[in-house]
């Protein structure tokens, strides 16, 4: 990546009489102390094209927020300001600054991602390009697909090919993984900028293994081609098609480009290293039209490379700016963390065979920043107990729970449950986040959809007894699993021609006493409500769930009363169903099709797996945060203490097994015909580990606790590269001690 020291290249713009002028004072700072680099940025004239580069924690986004305030206080209309980010959550600091400052609370800036910009433009200029883009119904409006509905339609296309024509016969992965990787291939083609028809050829040209894999790539090409044709026939636009229509048909269109240039006069583009090559292409062509532009880049980043992020492409945008600033000071790291970062960087550079210049040995301050178990831990549960003990000690010493994060390469259910149990036993509240967690894995989702299946017996999706017992246990306050199973055995009649759930009076007297009459009364309220709802033939699933939660589950005596997390999951589920219904219902002709039944079936199959980000935009300040490492990184919020769990696992740096796609081969930097071999895999793993560890340390203020055990979560022994790197950095620091 290119590096720039703070320098100012003089230029003399011609200001018009109505041009925005710099405010006479730094009122927009509100007395906040700024670093030298931040002040240097704010000293630049408004009509400037400026790039900022530095590590995470150097104050670049804070500087960007103050630059935004400077623009607004100088008289720039808020609607002329565009904040461009790779994902929506990264725009939150800019929006929060406007909400929190009374003078700017009325300001409505525009924040977009590439996908958001593409969708807006396609929606606005649809009549001009729909026919040229190849849509079969150009006079009808477009229908934009969410991740869920795109997965549904991909399943609709691929399932018959798999079951009837034998595609992917040699694969043993879950169907939902096939569908998601097929969509990922289409997305890669769109954001890298090559025709989707070349996917198979690109993947095959780099493969050096068995010939069967070549057939798998051909099968994938068949599926994506048919999916794209289906979308064109029905005016359906998934993410990839939205981007392609925008780039190929709208961005070159003078009317669209003039609209964008005249609407947005000032640009702030943050975290550009996490954005895609085609985003950089658009910005490169658009930059000359802006009156001002601030481009912000992180060093040692590019964590979204598996989603198409391109660090080198981002760096090329520096040349478009007259002024380049390098933020060198890290405002987050303590001396110990800074030394730990230095040691890890040195060890990995030597592994990579890269030159190390100057004094690369970490100092003894690393001993205070890096905490390891005092004794060797053999079993994985013992490591979890050690982590919980350390968290408890930290909180007792005054560290706020919200300043502690527990990180792992992945957060499987067993790890999440074990950590939660251990923290709960110590009275520690926690919050967990896994973006890849499917809606079907949430207790509230399982409960509501199981009872919905009972209320709509005509859908032939009646739940198993065990699933219904679990649903009743969570739905009715005071009902444990044993009594829920007893109740289910007595009242559930799935083969009956009448309503499948019988009243509580049908339970035998001795079982009624075990269940208790108070629980029976709550069950009867639920049973009567479900039976009455089943008689409303026009009731659709999302309306049904909305009423069920509001009229029953949220009331005293039921499981979701005062359960805010459960309520949020229900709101997410209802929103998901609504979006599914709005799209799918328009494109399923024929008698007997039920959107609600189709949705429940897709959830059970794992096809609909998208989780919404709404509930995770803000971390709870009074709870320990548990998440996959990349999820924490992309949140871009520093903390005092990090725990790195299971550092022996190779999952910290190994690429995911994705037999239908390949993020490195499907990039602009991969040469056609070059083979992907073991050396490439090792280089990618080492670079991933370097970016990941340095990225985490850039967001850590005081300490890192490393959890390691001789045996992993499955009882297997492994000793990954991360342990070697941390151990070597520790040893180097010991050599510096007197």
Can you tell me whether residue 301 is helix, strand or coil?
coil
Residue 420 to residues 295, 355, 648, 689, 706: CA-CA distances in angstroms? Answer: 41, 44, 21, 27, 18
Structure tokens at 32: 């906040």
Can you tell me whether residue 626 is helix, strand or coil?
strand
pLDDT number for residue 497: 83
Q: Which is more confident, 265 or 506?
A: 265
The closest alpha carbon to 142, from 257, 238, 255, belongs to 238
DSSP state of 269: E
Distance of alpha carbon 169 from alpha carbon 220, whole angstroms: 12
Q: 718 pLDDT exceeds 70?
A: yes
Distance of alpha carbon 235 from alpha carbon 36, whole angstroms: 53
Q: Which is more confident, 433 or 579?
A: 579
For residue 10, name the pLDDT band (cuts at 50, 70, 90).
very low
Q: 246 pLDDT exceeds 90?
A: yes
SS (H, E, C) 444-508: HHHHHHHHHHHHCHHHCCCCCHHHHHHHHHHHECCCCHHHHHHHHHHHECCCCCCCCECCHHHCC
Torsion of CA 568, 95, 192, 282, to 10 degrees: 150
Q: Contact 152/230 with Cβ under 8 angstroms?
A: no
Convert the pLDDT of each residue in 546-581 to its tens digit.
Answer: 999 999 999 999 988 878 777 888 888 888 888 888
Q: What average pLDDT does the structure give for the chain?
A: 87
Q: How many CB atoms lie within 10 A of CB 362?
A: 29
DSSP H or E run through 212:
helix 212-234
The closest alpha carbon to 646, from 701, 718, 585, 700, belongs to 718
Phi, psi angle pair for 610, to nearest 5°: -70, 135
pLDDT more than 90, % of the chain: 59
pLDDT number for residue 356: 77
Structure tokens at 35: 């670093």
Q: What is the topology classification, in CATH, of domain 366-437+616-736? A: Rossmann fold (3.40.50)
DSSP H or E run through 628:
strand 624-628
**Which of 21-25, 462-466, 471-475, 601-605 is predicted with the least confidence, judged by mean pLDDT?**
21-25
pLDDT number for residue 16: 34
pLDDT number for residue 107: 78
Please count the helices (runs of H) and the strands (runs of E) in the chain. 27, 14
Convert the pLDDT of each residue in 686-696 to its tens digit.
Answer: 999 999 999 99
Torsion of CA 440, 442, 448, 454, to 10 degrees: 50
Distance of alpha carbon 148 from alpha carbon 608, whole angstroms: 5
Q: Sheet of 49-54: strands edge to edge?
A: 110-112, 81-84, 266-269, 292-298, 49-54, 323-327
Distance of alpha carbon 720 from alpha carbon 698, whole angstroms: 22
Distance of alpha carbon 195 from alpha carbon 225, whole angstroms: 11
Q: What is the topology classification, in CATH, of domain 27-112+265-327? A: Rossmann fold (3.40.50)
Torsion of CA 172, 174, 178, 179, to 10 degrees: 160
Distance of alpha carbon 369 from alpha carbon 349, whole angstroms: 21
Q: What is the DSSP string of 386-454?
A: HHHHHHHHHHHTT--GGGEEEEES---HHHHHHHHHHHHHTT--EEE--TT--GGGSHHHHHHHHHHHH
pLDDT number for residue 182: 97
Can you tell me whether residue 347 is helix, strand or coil?
helix
Distance of alpha carbon 415 from alpha carbon 505, whole angstroms: 42
Exposed, middle or buried, 397 (CB in 10 Å: 0-12/13-18/19+)? Answer: exposed
Q: 49 pLDDT exceeds 90?
A: yes
Exposed, middle or buried, 310 (CB in 10 Å: 0-12/13-18/19+)? Answer: buried
Convert the pLDDT of each residue in 581-636 to its tens digit.
Answer: 888 766 654 444 688 888 898 888 777 644 454 444 567 778 999 999 998 988 88
pLDDT number for residue 437: 64
**Which of 41-50, 73-82, 246-255, 646-655 is predicted with the least confidence, judged by mean pLDDT?**
646-655
Taking the CA of residue 735 as centre, how many other CA atoms within 13 Å lie in the half-sphere pointing to its CB? 10
Sign of CA dihedral 478, 480, 483, 487: positive
Convert the pLDDT of each residue in 109-138 to its tens digit.
Answer: 999 999 999 999 999 999 999 999 999 999
pLDDT number for residue 370: 92
pLDDT number for residue 278: 97
Structure tokens at 303: 């964590």
Q: 362 pLDDT exceeds 90?
A: no
Q: 30-34, 60-64, 358-362 — which one is most confidently predicted on average? A: 60-64
Residues in CB range of 31: below 8 A, 6 or more apart: none
Structure tokens at 643: 């725990």
């Amino acid at each position: 990546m290119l590096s720039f020291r703070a320098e100012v290249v003089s230029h003399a713009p011609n200001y018009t009489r109505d041009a925005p002028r710099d405010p006479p004072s730094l009122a927009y700072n509100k007395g906040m102390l700024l670093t030298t680099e931040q002040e240097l940025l704010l000293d630049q004239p408004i009509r400037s094209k400026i790039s900022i580069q530095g590590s995470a924690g150097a104050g670049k986004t804070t500087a960007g927020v103050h630059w935004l305030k400077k623009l607004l206080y100088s008289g720039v209309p808020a609607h002329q300001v565009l904040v461009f980010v790779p994902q929506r959550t990264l725009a939150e600091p800019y929006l929060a600054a406007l909400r929190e400052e009374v003078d700017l609370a009325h300001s409505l800036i525009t924040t977009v991602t590439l996908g958001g910009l593409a969708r807006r433009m396609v929606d606005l200029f649809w009549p001009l390009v729909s026919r040229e883009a190849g849509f079969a119904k150009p006079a009808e409006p477009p229908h934009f697909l969410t991740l869920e509905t795109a997965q549904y339609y991909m399943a609709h296309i691929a399932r018959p090919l798999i079951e009837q024509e034998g595609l992917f016969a040699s694969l043993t992965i879950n169907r939902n993984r096939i569908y998601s990787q097929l969509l990922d291939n289409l997305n890669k083609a769109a954001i890298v900028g090559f025709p989707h028809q070349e996917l198979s050829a690109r993947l095959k040209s780099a493969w050096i293994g068995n010939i069967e894999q070549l057939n798998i790539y051909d099968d994938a090409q068949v599926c994506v081609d048919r999916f794209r044709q289906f979308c064109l026939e029905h005016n359906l636009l998934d993410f990839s098609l939205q981007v392609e229509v925008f780039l190929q048909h709208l961005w070159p269109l003078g009317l669209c480009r003039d609209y964008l240039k005249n609407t947005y006069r000032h640009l702030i583009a943050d975290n550009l290293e996490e954005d895609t090559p085609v985003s950089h292409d658009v910005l490169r062509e658009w930059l000359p039209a802006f009156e001002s532009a601030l481009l912000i880049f992180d060093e040692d980043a590019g964590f979204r490379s598996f989603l198409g992020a391109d660090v080198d492409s981002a760096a090329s945008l520096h040349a478009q700016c007259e002024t380049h600033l390098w933020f060198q000071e890290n405002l987050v790291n303590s001396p110990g963390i800074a030394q730990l970062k230095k040691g890890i960087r040195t060890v990995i550079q030597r592994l990579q065979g890269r030159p190390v210049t100057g004094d690369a040995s970490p100092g003894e301050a690393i001993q205070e920043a890096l905490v390891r178990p005092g004794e060797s831990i053999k079993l994985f549960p013992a490591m979890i107990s050690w982590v919980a003990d350390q968290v408890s000690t930290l909180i007792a010493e005054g560290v706020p729970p919200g300043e502690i994060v527990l990180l792992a390469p992945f957060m499987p259910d067993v790890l999440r449950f074990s950590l939660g149990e251990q923290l709960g036993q110590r009275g520690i509240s926690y919050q967990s986040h896994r973006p890849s967690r499917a809606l079907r894995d949430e207790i509230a989702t399982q409960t509501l959809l199981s009872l919905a299946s009972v209320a709509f017996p005509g859908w032939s999706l009646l739940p198993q007894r065990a699933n219904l017992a679990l649903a009743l246990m969570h739905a009715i306050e005071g009902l444990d699993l044993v009594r829920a199973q007893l109740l289910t055995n007595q009242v559930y009649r799935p083969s009956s021609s009448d309503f499948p759930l019988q009243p509580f009076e049908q339970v035998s007297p001795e079982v009624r006493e075990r269940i208790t009459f108070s629980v029976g009364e709550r069950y009867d309220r639920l049973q009567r409500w479900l039976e009455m709802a089943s008689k409303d033939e026009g009731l659709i699933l999302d309306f049904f769930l909305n009423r069920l939660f509001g009229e029953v589950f949220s009331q005293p005596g039921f499981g979701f009363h005062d359960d805010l997390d459960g309520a949020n999951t229900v709101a997410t589920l209802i929103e998901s169903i609504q979006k599914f219904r709005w799209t799918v219902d328009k494109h399923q002709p024929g008698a007997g099709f039920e959107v609600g039944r189709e949705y429940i079936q897709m959830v059970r199959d794992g096809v609909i797996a998208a989780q919404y980000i709404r509930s995770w935009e803000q971390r709870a300040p009074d709870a320990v945060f548990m998440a996959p490492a990349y999820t924490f990184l992309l949140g871009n919020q520093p903390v005092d203490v990090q725990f790195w769990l299971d550092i022996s696992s190779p999952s910290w740096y190994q690429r995911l097994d994705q037999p239908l796609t390949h993020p490195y081969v499907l990039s602009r930097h991969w040469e056609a015909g070059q083979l992907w071999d073991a050396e490439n895999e090792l280089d990618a793993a080492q670079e991933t580990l370097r970016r990941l560890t340095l990225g985490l340390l850039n967001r850590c203020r005081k300490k890192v606790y490393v959890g390691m055990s001789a045996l992993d979560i499955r009882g297997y022994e492994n000793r990954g590269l991360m342990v070697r790197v941390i151990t070597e950095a520790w040893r180097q620091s010991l050599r510096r001690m007197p």
